[in-house]
């Protein structure tokens, strides 16, 4: 890629102890091989929180862990999860995008107007919506890197602009209903993977991931670098295969794995590979860990910022498209302020640091599941939105506290 370091390597000696060099040399041990870099400090508490939520809500309502409710939960978190994945990328470089909800609403309006009122082919409407969102993100990146406008203020202004454009696109009616026979509605609501395909994808993912992990281990051995013992690696991936296979079996007792959720998982896997196994991904972590050291190491910092802002906005657009299909409509409330808060909360709760440099693509999945579980569990208890905001806020505060304490321990260890 054009923004990779000269010669494909970073002079890690120039990065200094405890800064971007740690991000550039991701490999690690323990849970990193399973859930990605940073997972050892962020994902384990999230998994524990998911377990606690499941036990509490199951005790309060035996329907919570039913296959039917879990299938519904997976469909509900797909759109938010896709947007949270984009937010993870921006947070990794130490920035934030406050306009993801508004951009998703604008994309939903574009796809609805294009497909229903303008008669565009659905593929064209979806492409225009995602490209328009990506252009907004690229504009953020340009303004941030060339003009120096803080991302907080820049994306807050973008939120207002996107909301205005959304209302203008929707027109006087303010709401557009998508036909129930629309391919987008069927994809988001009614399309599920065949059981054989679902099991095949799980097997391919586990075998492929283990193969990449063993290949990385072999390369480290040949380079005379420290590696994990082989047995724990095999055990972790065997456990992952067992958990993924069991979850697939349980969901198949009902309708199975939704196509929209499968798309979300595919995007998480792709982002995980990009972040952990490409120069661009290492550059993202290096910039987020210490932008000054990354710049001195030869990383094209401006291009990294532009790329992450663009990816975040494009994924917000895709999330808006999925949300429109899920609700079979686009209106002025699509992507409201609640969406922004939920997306940021999902990314942070999932284990991504607000301070940059730490987190993984899996943070989007874990965080979306936590937020979705809270919403689903409280809905089953016939409670309104107020308890959901309170509980989500408390979990978010706890996640940020854990992150801050973790950074404090790392800083003390580096002294």
Q: Does the structure show a pLDDT above 90 at 355?
A: no
Q: Does the structure show a pLDDT above 80 at 22?
A: no
The total of other beta-carbon atoms located within 10 Å of residue 92's CB is 30
Overall average pLDDT of the 200-215 stretch: 90
Overall average pLDDT of the 69-90 stretch: 95
Q: Share the mean pLDDT of the chain.
A: 85
Nearest alpha-carbon partner for 199 in 269, 250, 162, 263: 250
**Residue 45 domain-assigned?**
yes
**Residue 223 domain-assigned?**
no
Local confidence band at 36 (pLDDT 50, 70, 90 cut-offs): very low
- What pLDDT, on the 0 to 100 scale, is given for residue 223? 86
For residues 325 and 342, give the distance between their C-alpha atoms in angstroms, rounded to a whole number: 19
> Residue for token digits 């896709």?
82
Q: What DSSP string runs through 277-346?
A: HSHHHHHHHHHHH-HHHHHHTT--HHHHHHHHHHHHHHHHHHHHHHHHHHHTEEETTTT-HHHHHHHHHH
Q: Does the structure show a pLDDT above 70 at 11?
A: no
Q: Does the structure show a pLDDT above 90 at 407?
A: no
**Residue 245 domain-assigned?**
no
Rounded to 5 degrees, φ, ψ at 266 are -65, -40
**Residue 16 domain-assigned?**
yes
**Which residue would you say has higher pLDDT here, 308 or 11?**
308
**Residue 182 domain-assigned?**
yes
| Residues in Cβ contact with 288 at an 8 Å cutoff, skipping those fewer than 6 apart | 23, 91, 92, 93, 94, 356, 357, 358
- What pLDDT, on the 0 to 100 scale, is given for residue 91? 95
* CA dihedral for 367, 268, 98, 172, sign (positive or negative): negative
Q: Does the structure show a pLDDT above 60 at 193?
A: yes
Alpha carbon separation from 258 to 71, 73, 120, 160 (Å, rounded): 7, 10, 26, 33
Q: Does the structure show a pLDDT above 80 at 168?
A: yes
- What pLDDT, on the 0 to 100 scale, is given for residue 410? 58
Kindly report, residue by residue over 358-402, the tens digit of the pLDDT. 889 999 999 999 999 998 998 898 887 788 788 888 887 877 787
pLDDT above 90 coverage of the chain, percent = 56
Local confidence band at 415 (pLDDT 50, 70, 90 cut-offs): low
**Residue 226 domain-assigned?**
no
**Residue 97 domain-assigned?**
yes
For residues 15 and 22, give the distance between their C-alpha atoms in angstroms, rounded to a whole number: 9
**Residue 234 domain-assigned?**
no
- What pLDDT, on the 0 to 100 scale, is given for residue 5? 35
For residues 6 and 25, give the distance between their C-alpha atoms in angstroms, rounded to a whole number: 17
Kindly report, residue by residue over 274-329, the tens digit of the pLDDT. 998 899 999 999 999 888 899 898 899 999 999 999 999 999 999 999 999 999 99
Strand boundaries in 158-258, DSSP class E: 175-177
Q: How many domains does the chain have?
A: 1
* Weakest-pLDDT range from 50-54, 173-177, 374-378: 173-177
Nearest alpha-carbon partner for 179 in 130, 111, 82: 111
Q: Does the structure show a pLDDT above 80 at 13?
A: no
Kindly report, residue by residue over 236-283, the tens digit of the pLDDT. 889 989 999 999 999 999 999 999 999 999 999 999 999 988 999 999
* Weakest-pLDDT range from 3-17, 187-201, 203-217: 3-17
- Calculate the dihedral angle through the C-alpha atoms of 89, 90, 91, 96, rounding to the nearest 10 degrees: -150
Q: Does the structure show a pLDDT above 50 at 15?
A: no
Q: What is the CATH number of the domain that holds 403?
A: 1.10.3470
Q: What is the domain range of residue 406?
A: 6-191+258-414
- What pLDDT, on the 0 to 100 scale, is given for residue 337? 67
- What pLDDT, on the 0 to 100 scale, is given for residue 217? 87
**Angle 275-88-78 from CA coordinates, rounded to 5°:** 105
- What pLDDT, on the 0 to 100 scale, is given for residue 338? 83
- What pLDDT, on the 0 to 100 scale, is given for residue 24? 40
**Angle 314-318-320 from CA coordinates, rounded to 5°:** 115
- What pLDDT, on the 0 to 100 scale, is given for residue 392? 81
- What pLDDT, on the 0 to 100 scale, is given for residue 409? 66
Q: Does the structure show a pLDDT above 70 at 405?
A: yes
- What pLDDT, on the 0 to 100 scale, is given for residue 197? 95
- What pLDDT, on the 0 to 100 scale, is given for residue 122? 93
Overall average pLDDT of the 127-141 stretch: 96
């Amino acid at each position: 890629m054009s923004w990779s370091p000269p010669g494909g390597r970073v002079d890690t000696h120039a990065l200094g102890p405890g800064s971007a060099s740690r991000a550039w040399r991701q490999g690690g041990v323990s849970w990193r091989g399973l859930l990605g870099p940073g997972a050892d400090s962020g994902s384990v508490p999230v998994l524990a929180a998911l377990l606690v939520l499941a036990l509490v809500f199951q005790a309060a309502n035996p329907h919570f862990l039913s296959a039917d409710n879990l299938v519904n939960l997976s469909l509900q978190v797909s759109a938010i999860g896709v947007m949270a994945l984009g937010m993870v990328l921006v947070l990794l470089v130490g920035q934030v995008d406050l306009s993801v909800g508004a951009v998703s609403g604008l994309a939903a309006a574009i796809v609805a107007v294009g497909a229903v009122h303008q008669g565009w082919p659905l593929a064209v409407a979806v492409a225009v919506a995602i490209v328009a969102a990506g252009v907004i993100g690229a504009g953020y990146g340009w303004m941030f890197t060339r003009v120096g406008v803080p991302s907080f203020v820049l994306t807050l202004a973008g939120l207002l602009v996107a909301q205005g454009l959304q209302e203008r696109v929707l027109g006087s009616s303010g709401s557009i209903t998508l036909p129930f026979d629309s391919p987008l509605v069927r994809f988001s609501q009614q399309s599920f993977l065949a059981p054989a395909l679902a099991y095949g994808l799980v097997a391919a993912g586990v075998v492929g991931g283990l193969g990449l992990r063993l290949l990385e281990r072999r390369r480290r051995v040949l380079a005379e670098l420290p590696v994990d013992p082989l047995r724990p690696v095999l055990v972790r991936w065997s456990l992952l295969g067992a958990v993924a296979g069991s979850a697939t079996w349980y969901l198949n007792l009902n309708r199975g794995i939704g196509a929209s959720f499968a798309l979300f998982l595919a995007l998480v896997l792709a982002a995980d590979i990009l972040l952990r196994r490409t120069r661009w991904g290492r550059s993202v972590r290096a910039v987020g860990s210490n932008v000054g050291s990354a710049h001195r190491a030869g990383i094209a910092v401006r291009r990294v910022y532009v790329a992450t802002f663009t990816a975040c906005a494009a994924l917000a657009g895709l999330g808006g498209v999925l949300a429109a299909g899920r609700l079979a409509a686009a209106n002025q409330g699509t992507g409201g302020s609640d969406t922004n808060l939920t997306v940021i909360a999902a990314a942070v709760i999932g284990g991504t640091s607000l301070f940059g440099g730490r987190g993984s693509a899996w943070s989007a999945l874990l965080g979306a599941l936590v937020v979705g579980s809270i919403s689903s569990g409280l809905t089953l208890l016939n409670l309104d939105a107020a308890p959901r905001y309170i509980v989500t806020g408390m979990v978010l505060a706890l996640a940020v506290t854990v992150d801050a304490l973790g950074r404090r321990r790392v800083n003390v260890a580096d002294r």
